[in-house]
Amino acid sequence: MGRGHFKSMVKIDELDLKIIRELQADARKSYREIAEKLGVAEGTVYNRVSKLKENKVIRGFIPDIDYSKLGYDIVALIGVMVEGGHLPEIEEQIAKEPNATAVYDVTGEYDAMIVAKFKSRSSLNDFVKKILATKHVKRTYTMIVLNTVKEEHGIRI
């Protein structure tokens, strides 16, 4: 099993949550628009967002991209089994791969799960073979997504 990360909680109040919800709906909204909708001063929104960014609650503002429209039609879930004690280095190496969109420590039969996107079966094949050729990787298990029912990178709070 992978290493655990217990991060300290940041004190978040209802106004912070309302601001986060507004940014989740449209991260391009101006602080003025958010302030008007929530009935607070623009400076309040600015200060709250600054605090949320400083505490890494908000890690960035990125576009929500449909990668299939860019040719990344193959999504794979890859379980990786690693020899004891080497999981952190293997995960960090995999996380640097441009096709990997997520790397998770997990419980169960595998030590890590990877979500990765590809333009072709051959690029998926190369990716999996590269992982398998990595020292201390014992085994992989690859599943290909047939249909995406839901894919969001955040939860509605």
| 132 is a domain residue | yes
| 23 is a domain residue | yes
Q: Could you give the number of structural domains in the chain?
A: 2
101: confidence class by pLDDT, cuts 50, 70, 90: very high
What is the Cα–Cα distance from 78 to 130, expressed in whole angstroms?
A: 13
Residue 64's pLDDT is 82
| 31 is a domain residue | yes
CATH code, 26: 1.10.10.10
Q: How far is CA 96 from CA 8, 40, 42, 89, 92, in A?
A: 26, 41, 38, 11, 7
Highest mean pLDDT among 20-24, 84-88, 101-105: 101-105
Q: What range does the domain containing 42 cover? A: 14-54
| 6 is a domain residue | no
CATH code, 118: 3.30.70.920
156: confidence class by pLDDT, cuts 50, 70, 90: confident
